[in-house]
C-alpha cells in the first residue's frame, strides 16, 4: 500500500479503503514510482537532515536493545551479517552464506575490505568475538530486560543465571573463524534462521569495542543500563553513519557520514534523530521546517499533508496490536473470564475510528501474510451480552481490573494509545467491568508489563523477519511473567513447528500452534495496520519498509520545491 511516491507491488493500484478480511488485505511491499530526483548536492553536504521520532532510543549497544526507536538509530551505525529487503533476507556483512542439511551449521562468507569505524578490519574472528561475548553474558546481562532478542533466538546462555529466570538451554554451540569466514553452530534446526541473522540486536561491533566493555557488569535485572550505552565514543560499527553525539537534554542523536563505508556512501553528511513524542507536534515541526520528516503520521493528518505538498508513503503491513491478559492476576487465570473480556471488545470500531485506512481486525497473533495463518482458530466476535453472561457464569460480575497503557509515544501498530485505551475501557465497562486506568511512560512501560505488574495492557509487535516464530515464538515459546500462564500444549506446539525442517509440514504445524494459542487465549489480538511516514517536499525519502527498517543513507535533499 502507498500514498504518494509508493505503490503496492502486485496490486491494482487501490491505495485506500477498508480491508476487513485476510483475503482483502494487501501485504505487498511498496514500489517506488517517483523516478530519479534532482539531488541538491550542496544541501546534502551543508544541511543536516532532521527526522522526528516518537520516542528516545535506549542503548547504543545493539545487543542491549529491543525497541524500534533504538533500532532506528543503531541500524544506521551497525551492520548485521544478513539484511532485509522488504521481508526477504539478503546479504549484509556476509556477501553469501550456506547451511548444512540439518540447519545446524551456518557459514558466512564476509565481504572483503570492510573496516569498523575505529579502523579495525572485519573478519571471521571479529564476528565470532561478538557471538562468544553474547553467549557468555552473566548476571543482569541475561535478563530479558536487556537481552530480550538474544534469549528469544538462542534460548539461553553458556551458564544460565537462575536469578534471571532463563531456564531453557542455549542452542548456541560455538563460532569458528577462518579468515573471512565465520561458522556458527547450533544444537538443532530452528525456523528463526536465517532471518534472525538480520536482527539489529545481533549487529556486529568491533573487537576493540568488546574489549573496552569487557569488565562492565549489570548486577541485576532492574539495574540501569551501563554508562557506555548512553554516550558516544565506546562502540564502533561498520555502517554508513558513525555516532557523533547524543544530547539527552535536547533528545537528539547526531550521526555523521562514514566516508569509508563498504557500500554506497550516505547521501546526506549529517543525520539527526530528534524525539518529539506528540504526533501533532511532529507534524507542526515538519510544517515549520524544523524537521524534514517524521514517523507515524496520524491517519487524520495524512490527506492534509498530501494536499500541502508533503510526501506520505505508507509502509506495507507486518505488525500486530493486542490486549494482554496477565494470568498472574486473579481472575484472569479463569478461561471463561478471558473469553468474556474478548467478546466485550469492539475491535472493528478501533480499526474504523483510530487506525489508518487498510487496517484489519486480527484473529490470531500474527498477520495473514505469514505461512501457518489458520482459518480454524477460535474467534471472539463483539457481543456485549455474551460477555456479561460469561462473567456471570464465572462469578465475576463485579470484576475490577487495572488496565495499563503507554503515554508519550506512538507505535507503528498503535498510532493513538489513549484513544485505543478509551474505546476498550468503555467496552469493558459496558459489559460490567470496572476499569482502573494506569498510564505509564514508555521508558517504564516495557519493564512494567514484562514483570507482570499489569493485569491488562496494550502492546504489539512489528515483525523482524518473515517467519511465524518471530511472532508466536517471541511471546509464547516458554512461560513468562508478562503472560503468566503455563500451558505445555502451547509451548510444545510452537517448539514442534519451530524445529521442523520440512517447509510444508512446518506450515501445518504453525497452524496447529496458532489454534493452540487462541484456545489458551492469553490475550486478544486486535489489529494489523499500515503505518505511515511523512517527508518534506524537498526530500528524496528512503525506501519504506514493512519492518520499519528504513535506511537513511538513501535520503537526499532535492532541488524541487
Q: What is the pLDDT of residues 364-395, one digit of tens each?
A: 999 998 999 999 999 999 999 999 999 999 99
| Cβ contact 59:229 at 8 Å | yes
Residue 25 has pLDDT above 90, yes or no: no
Residue 500 has a pLDDT of 94
Among 78-92, 171-185, 435-449, 528-542, name the most confident range: 171-185
Instruction: State the angle between helix axes of 335-344 and 417-430 in degrees (0 to 180), rounded to the nearest 10.
Output: 110
Residue 485 to residue 324: CA distance in whole angstroms: 12
What is the pLDDT, as a whole number, of residue 303? 87
Q: Give this prediction's pTM.
A: 0.86
Asked whether the predicted pLDDT for residue 331 surpasses 70, the reply is yes
What are the backbone dihedrals phi and psi of residue 266, each rounded to the nearest 5 degrees, phi first?
-60, 145
* φ, ψ at 135 (rounded to 5°): -60, -30
Q: What is the DSSP string of 387-429?
A: HHHHHHHTT-TT-EEEEEEEES--BTTBS-HHHHHHHHHHHHH
Q: What is the pLDDT of residue 27?
A: 57
- The pLDDT confidence band at residue 428, using thresholds 50, 70 and 90, is very high
What's the average model confidence in pLDDT over 224-242? 97
Of the pLDDT bands very low, low, confident and very high (cuts 50, 70, 90), residue 408 is: confident
- Sorted by where each starts, the structural domains of the chain and their CATH numbers stand as 41-48+247-315+531-557 (3.40.190.10), 55-239 (3.90.76.10), 319-528 (3.10.105.10)
Least confident of 28-32, 39-43, 247-251: 28-32
5 has a pLDDT exceeding 60? no
Write out the three cell numbers for 234.
Answer: 565506546
| Nearest alpha carbon to residue 354 among 529, 485, 543 | 529
Amino acid at each position: 500500500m502507498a500514498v504518494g511516491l509508493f505503490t503496492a507491488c502486485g496490486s491494482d493500484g487501490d491505495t485506500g479503503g477498508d480491508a476487513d478480511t485476510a483475503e482483502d488485505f494487501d501485504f505487498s511491499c511498496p514500489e517506488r514510482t517517483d523516478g530519479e530526483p534532482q539531488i541538491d548536492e550542496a544541501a546534502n553536504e551543508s544541511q543536516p537532515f532532521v527526522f522526528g521520532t516518537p520516542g528516545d532510543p535506549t542503548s547504543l549497544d545493539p545487543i542491549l536493545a529491543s525497541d524500534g526507536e533504538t533500532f532506528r538509530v543503531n541500524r544506521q551505525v551497525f551492520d548485521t551479517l544478513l539484511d532485509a529487503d522488504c521481508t526477504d533476507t539478503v546479504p549484509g556483512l556476509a556477501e553469501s552464506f550456506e547451511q548444512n542439511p540439518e540447519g545446524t551449521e551456518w557459514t558466512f562468507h564476509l565481504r572483503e575490505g570492510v573496516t569498523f569505524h575505529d579502523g579495525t578490519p572485519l573478519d571471521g574472528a571479529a564476528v565470532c568475538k561478538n557471538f562468544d561475548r553474547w553467549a557468555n553474558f552473566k548476571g543482569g546481562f541475561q535478563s530479558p530486560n536487556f537481552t530480550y532478542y538474544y534469549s528469544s533466538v538462542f534460548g539461553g546462555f553458556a551458564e544460565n543465571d537462575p536469578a534471571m529466570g532463563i531456564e531453557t538451554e542455549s542452542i548456541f554451540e560455538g563460532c569458528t573463524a577462518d579468515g573471512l569466514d565465520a561458522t556458527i553452530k547450533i544444537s538443532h534446526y530452528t525456523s528463526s534462521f536465517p532471518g534472525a541473522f538480520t536482527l539489529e540486536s545481533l549487529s556486529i561491533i568491533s573487537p576493540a569495542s568488546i574489549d573496552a566493555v569487557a569488565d562492565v557488569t549489570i548486577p541485576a535485572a532492574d539495574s540501569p543500563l551501563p554508562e557506555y550505552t548512553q554516550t558516544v565514543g565506546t562502540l564502533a560499527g561498520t555502517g554508513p553513519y558513525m555516532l557523533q553525539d547524543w544530547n539527552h537534554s535536547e533528545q537528539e542523536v547526531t550521526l555523521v557520514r562514514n566516508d569509508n563505508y563498504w557500500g554506497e556512501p550516505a547521501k546526506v553528511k549529517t543525520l539527526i534523530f530528534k524525539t518529539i513524542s506528540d504526533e501533532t507536534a511532529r507534524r507542526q515541526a515538519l510544517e515549520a521546517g524544523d524537521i524534514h520528516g517524521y514517523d507515524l503520521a496520524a491517519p487524520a493528518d495524512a490527506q492534509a499533508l498530501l494536499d500541502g505538498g508533503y510526501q506520505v508513503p505508507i509502509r506495507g503491513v507486518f505488525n500486530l496490536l493486542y490486549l494482554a491478559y496477565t494470568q498472574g492476576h486473579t481472575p484472569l487465570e479463569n478461561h471463561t473470564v478471558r473469553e468474556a473480556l474478548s467478546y466485550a471488545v469492539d475491535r472493528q470500531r478501533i480499526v474504523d475510528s483510530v487506525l489508518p485506512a487498510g487496517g484489519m481486525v486480527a484473529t490470531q497473533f500474527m498477520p495473514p501474510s505469514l505461512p501457518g495463518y489458520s482459518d480454524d482458530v477460535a474467534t471472539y466476535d463483539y457481543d456485549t451480552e455474551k460477555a456479561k453472561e460469561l462473567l456471570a457464569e464465572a462469578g465475576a460480575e463485579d470484576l475490577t481490573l487495572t488496565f495499563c497503557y503507554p503515554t508519550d509515544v506512538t507505535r507503528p501498530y498503535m498510532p493513538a494509545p489513549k484513544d485505543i485505551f478509551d474505546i476498550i475501557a468503555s467496552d469493558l465497562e459496558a459489559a460490567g467491568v470496572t476499569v482502573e486506568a494506569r498510564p505509564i511512560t514508555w521508558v517504564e512501560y516495557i519493564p512494567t508489563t514484562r514483570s507482570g505488574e499489569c493485569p491488562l495492557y496494550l502492546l504489539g509487535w512489528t515483525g523482524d523477519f518473515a517467519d511465524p516464530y518471530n511472532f508466536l515464538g517471541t511471546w509464547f515459546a516458554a512461560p513468562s511473567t508478562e503472560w503468566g500462564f503455563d500451558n505445555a500444549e502451547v509451548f510444545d506446539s510452537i517448539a514442534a513447528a519451530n524445529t521442523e525442517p520440512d517447509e510444508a509440514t512446518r506450515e501445518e504445524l504453525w497452524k496447529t500452534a496458532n489454534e493452540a494459542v487462541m484456545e489458551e487465549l492469553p490475550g486478544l489480538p486486535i489489529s494489523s495496520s499500515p503505518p505511515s511516514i511523512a517527508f518534506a517536499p524537498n526530500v528524496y525519502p528512503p525506501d519504506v519498509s514493512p519492518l520499519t527498517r528504513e535506511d537513511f543513507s538513501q535520503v537526499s535533499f532535492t532541488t524541487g520545491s
